[in-house]
Chains A and B, each alone.
Chain A
Amino acid sequence: MAALTPISRKPMSVVLPAVALAGAFAGMFVGAGNGSIPLGILGGAVLMTGLAWVFINVLKNEQMARWITILGFGIAGFLLSGPMGGVLGLLGGWFFAWFIYWLYEGRYRQKLLPYLTAKQVFYHYLFRVICGAIFVFLITPILVVLPLSFNAQDFFTFTPEMLRLDPEGYSLKHYRDFFTNNEWQRSFKNSLIIAPIATVISVSLGTLAAIGLSQSHVPGRRAIMGILISPMIVPLIISATGMFFFYSDIGRFLEGTLGMNKNFVGYLKVILAHAVLGIPFVIITVTATLVGFDRSLTRAAANMGAGPVRTFFSIQMPLILPGVISGGLFAFITSFDEVVVVLFVGSASQKTLPWQMFTGLREQISPTILAVATILVVLSIGLLATVELLRRRSERLRGLSPA
């Protein structure tokens, strides 16, 4: 990292205009919320400039200044627009107290290269702010869903009660609906039947094939790899169209000629379709794990008299297990999250959770969807954490440096 740059206090002529600008910007929003934008801009600028001047020239105590700003802003916000305003005020106060001293003490240069010009420093922070905005864009939709799922009303937006942080405005009723409503429960159960079975099929076949592909002499490896990865490349709508034609013929054959149970055939079709969609993920993750696999280990095992099966289960499998599991998680989430293929291939009795959400979004919009969405977000956080842990463990096992 950059060398420690000596910092010095900045003159008032730099600090005050910058603080005034930031104050005016924040004041604009406060003013807009309370009636008059120009008044807000002016008030913000004057207030912040005054505060900065007082803190720097009169108070000269950073700790105290910080607490005064935080508490003062918090109380003002609370008086203006309730608990939510109070929280926003506390945050704003914390920011401005930090911002004034960050500028005044010249801390913004501390971690930068000493020879940068003022313009370069400005661009550096402008770039950071832009990146921050993009990160906000990435994460906001997911964060917005979480509180809305606790809405006491059947609205898709924040009610005044929610904004006042009034306990009346929040309830668990959409969760209750999810856990008691028959339709949601049935689709949830269907997802829990289809996804694990499809995952088991794609993981067991996929791991075998990945081991085969990683041998040193495989005729036509590129063509085989291309075929095995194709379910990931072909757009879902095309896979779904093809499967729709094909599986309806197969289904008719199984039900009509072989006299199989209609329900069973329905599940079979969806499971086979989902298993195929999960295979590329298993192949990719397991072959990636096998790249770093030390061949001499299996040779050593064979040397000591272990057969190929024993070598596989006691030497190779434990080492590639993290890759296999994370491939399996990918396959699971692919099936658990899939809607287009099941929409085309399945019938109403195989309705899965995503399908139910899809119809819910298209036809009768019910906030229960948001409760389901929240549950799924929590689930994906769990999966993300598991995959990350497995990746690290795999790299440790294979002796690579942790990245």
Chain B
Amino acid sequence: MTDASQNAGPMLAADGTPLKQSLARSLRRQKLRALLLISPLLLFVMFSFIVPIASMLFRSVENGMVAETLPLTVEALQSWDTQSGELPEEAVYDAFVRDMVVAVENKEHTRLGSRLNYEETGMSSLFRKSGRKLKKMDPETDGPFKEQLIEIHEGWGDPQTWSVIKTHSPAVTNGYFLNAVDMRRTPEGAQSQPEDKRILIKLFGRTLFMSLVITASCILLAYPVSYLLATLPMRVSNLLMILVLLPFWTSLLVRTSAWKVMLQQQGVINETLVWLGLVADDARLIIINNQIGTIIAMTHILLPFMILPMYSVMQTIPPTYTRAAKSMGATNWTTFWRIYFPQSIPGIGAGSILVFILAIGYYITPEIVGGTKGVFISNRIAYHISSSLNWGLAAALGTILLAVVLLLYWVYDKIVGIDNVKLG
């Protein structure tokens, strides 16, 4: 060391290269090694998680089906004005028959029919019925087609049908997102859905409202328990902690089935209340298949996620502060409200955001104890994936939900930091 500092030139490492250079090389090597260790997992997560999510985002705007199945028709419709109120010209019908013959051959016309049926009821049967008869036509010899098509199904004589095809022909559409917020794509631009079809905004609102209620009831129940756990001596609080951790570790389906058993009309809670005479036999409480059922069950399921962060924050609050406040004459309430509570707010914040994020995307519990009135937006997504097969709308709903969650997560990161997520 002393030799090197006395030399006038740059400091040299053992092998004769300047020390600065040598250090930079070793740092580079260290970075490379760290990245090499991380890269297998990063690639794996990218491939099997990030790409699927991206594909969902893509699905929510992707709309190639109309243009792919009816390429000639879409081109021919370019010159037709949807506002004119008249039927398109013969050229459009001719192009349509050519497209349909190919589509029927590949059995694609029914898929197109159900795709357009999401936008206009009746399209599915229109395509299915016409497909069978169109199959027999020869586009080269059988023309002109305008009259024949209207003969086959009067739907082809309605300008509305052609207008729907034209409106939904672009390869990228905002139609699914408009549907997701109870609007729809029309030739005149975005408009709201008819009154009886507006359910999604209500469902989003209900999801937010119920998640808030669940978060609030979790705070109410978790605060006293966390306080007790944080103030009791370690031996006792570790024992009581088991009562929090056991539900946390128990399978979600076990807890959900337990609540189904408890909340039913003939379930444990109702039977006990009837046996005690607090509730008449013919006036049993209805606490399942509605919002109350979902709220009770989900509060129980998410409560440990509120208690654990609150507990870890309250543990760090020095008891000397409250004692100091009391010694200076503060009442119990003032001590709590002015000294203890402000210090416990980070715990409340962390727990609330965690519980809210978890609640907003819940599917299993609402599905089982929620009936029809207590379901969340996630149940609607599952419905569109597995029953109605309107995947574009499911993807759009999922994208909106994801945006909300990521926003909340960003807030969580600002308040708590990702690195401070603790388990058990």
Chain A residues close to B by CB (< 8 Å) = 1, 29, 32-33, 37, 120, 123, 127-128, 130-131, 134-135, 137-142, 144-145, 148, 155-158, 201, 205-206, 208-209, 211-213, 215-219, 222, 224-239, 241-247, 249, 272-273, 275-276, 279, 281, 284-285, 288, 330, 333, 336-337, 339-340, 343-344, 354, 357-358, 361-362, 369-370, 373, 376-377, 380-381, 383-384, 387, 391, 403
Contact = CB atoms under 8 A, between A and B. Distances in A.
B364 A235 contact: no
Q: What interface size band does chain B fall in? A: 35 or more
A343 B387 CA distance: 13
Contacts of A236: 361, 363
Given A145-B258, A235-B378, A241-B56, 8 more contacts: A131-B224, A215-B30, A235-B360, A237-B398, A238-B398, A242-B52, A337-B252, A380-B250
A290 to B, nearest CB: 12
Contacts of B386: 344
A142 B424 CA distance: 19
Contacts of A238: 53, 56, 361, 381, 398, 401-402, 405
Contact of B368 (A219, A234, A235, A361): A361
5 nearest A-B pairs in the assembled complex, by CB-CB distance: A235-B361, A212-B37, A246-B52, A32-B277, A141-B258
5 contacts: A120-B332, A142-B246, A209-B41, A236-B361, A238-B381
B48 A276 contact: yes
Given A238-B398, A242-B52, A344-B385, A357 B257 contact: yes
Contact of A237 (B37, B254, B268, B381): B381
Given A212-B38, A380-B251, A141 B262 contact: yes
> Which residue, of B34, B56, B247, B251, has the highest number of chain A Cβ atoms within 10 A?
B251
Interface stretch (B69-77, B101-109, B155-163, B415-423): B415-423
Interface stretch (B6-14, B141-149, B184-192, B237-245): B237-245
Given A120-B332, A284-B423, A235 B45 contact: no
Contacts of A141: 247, 255, 258-259, 261-262, 300
A228 B224 CA distance: 34
A241 B48 contact: no
Contacts of A337: 251-253
Given A131-B228, A142-B250, A213-B38, A157 B278 contact: no
A340 B386 CA distance: 12
B234 to A, nearest CB: 7
Nearest to A336: B251
B271 A157 contact: yes
A145 B257 contact: yes
A359 to B, nearest CB: 11
A309 B379 CA distance: 49
B126 interface: no
> Which residue, of B38, B332, B395, B409, has the highest number of chain A Cβ atoms within 10 A?
B38
Given A208-B41, A212-B37, A354 B251 contact: yes
Contacts of B55: 242, 245-246, 249
Contacts of A158: 268, 271
Contacts of A206: 41
Given A33-B275, A209-B40, A216-B30, A233 B50 contact: no
Given A135-B240, A361-B256, A127 B49 contact: no
B interface majority secondary structure: helix
Given A141-B262, A157-B261, A357-B253, A218 B35 contact: yes
B31 A218 contact: yes
Nearest to A28: B276
B409 to A, nearest CB: 5
A157 B254 contact: no
Contacts of A222: 418
B395 A231 contact: no
Nearest to B264: A156
B421 A229 contact: yes
Contacts of A228: 41-42, 45
B182 interface: no
Contacts of B253: 337, 339, 354, 357-358, 361, 373, 376
Contacts of B401: 235, 237-238
A246 B262 CA distance: 39
A222 B35 CA distance: 13
Contacts of A387: 424
A135 to B, nearest CB: 5
Nearest to A219: B31
Contacts of A370: 257, 261
B119 interface: no
A241 B398 contact: yes
B59 interface: yes
B200 interface: no
Contacts of B255: 141-142
B45 A148 contact: no
B330 interface: no
B214 interface: no
B269 to A, nearest CB: 10
Contact of A376 (B245, B251, B304): B251
Nearest to B413: A226
A373 B240 contact: no
Contacts of B30: 215-217
A242 B385 CA distance: 11
Contacts of B252: 337, 339, 354
Interface string B219-231: 0010011001000
Nearest to B304: A138
Nearest to A216: B30
B100 interface: no
B382 interface: yes
A233 B356 CA distance: 11
Nearest to B275: A33
A129 B107 CA distance: 68
Contact of B243 (A139, A247, A344, A376): A139
B277 to A, nearest CB: 4
> Which residue, of B52, B56, B275, has the highest number of chain A Cβ atoms within 10 A?
B52
Contacts of B259: 141
Contacts of B260: 156, 361
A298 to B, nearest CB: 13
Contacts of B257: 145, 357, 361, 369-370, 373
A29 B258 contact: no
Contacts of A231: 45, 49
Interface string B267-282: 1100100011110000
